């Protein structure tokens, strides 16, 4: 048994894991994360329909492709300004749909 433990210790990361903090953060931010993920799905559906890439959307929105990628992961806390840009560029209604879901 000691050999197994020693073997595992060889592969142990020198930095402590942050899984507990991340899980607590997700739990504390559950409400807006749910909305953010729903918005990401609406965006992905519309982008697929329009055959639009992240880069194309970023150009229309005037932001980086990396930012669009973060938004599409559903973990970005979006401002009203950003939501409005998304609505305009993709010709979708996000805020109205979110109000109906509430």
Domains of the chain: 18-101 (1.10.260.40)
- Which pLDDT value is given to residue 95? 78
- Which pLDDT value is given to residue 57? 97
- Which pLDDT value is given to residue 8? 79
42 vs 31: CA distance, rounded Å = 17
74 vs 28: CA distance, rounded Å = 16
Q: What is the mean pLDDT of residues 52-70?
A: 96
Confidence band for 44, pLDDT divided at 50, 70 and 90: very high
Helix/strand/coil for 99: helix
78 against 75, higher pLDDT: 78
pLDDT digits (tens, 9 = 90+) for 1-37: 778 888 877 877 888 888 889 999 889 999 889 989 9
72 vs 44: CA distance, rounded Å = 7
Q: Are the beta carbons of 5 and 46 closer than 8 angstroms? A: no
Q: What is the mean pLDDT of the chain?
A: 89
């Amino acid at each position: 048994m000691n050999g197994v433990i020693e073997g595992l210790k060889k592969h142990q990361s020198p930095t402590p894991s942050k899984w507990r903090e991340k899980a607590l953060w997700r739990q504390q931010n559950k409400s807006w994360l749910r909305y953010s993920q729903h918005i990401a799905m609406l965006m992905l559906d519309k982008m697929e329909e329009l055959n639009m890439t992240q880069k194309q959307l970023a150009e229309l929105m005037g932001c980086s492709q990396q930012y669009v990628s973060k938004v599409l992961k559903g973990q970005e806390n979006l401002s009203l300004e950003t939501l409005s840009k998304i609505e305009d560029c993709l010709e979708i209604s996000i805020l109205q749909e979110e109000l109906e879901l509430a």
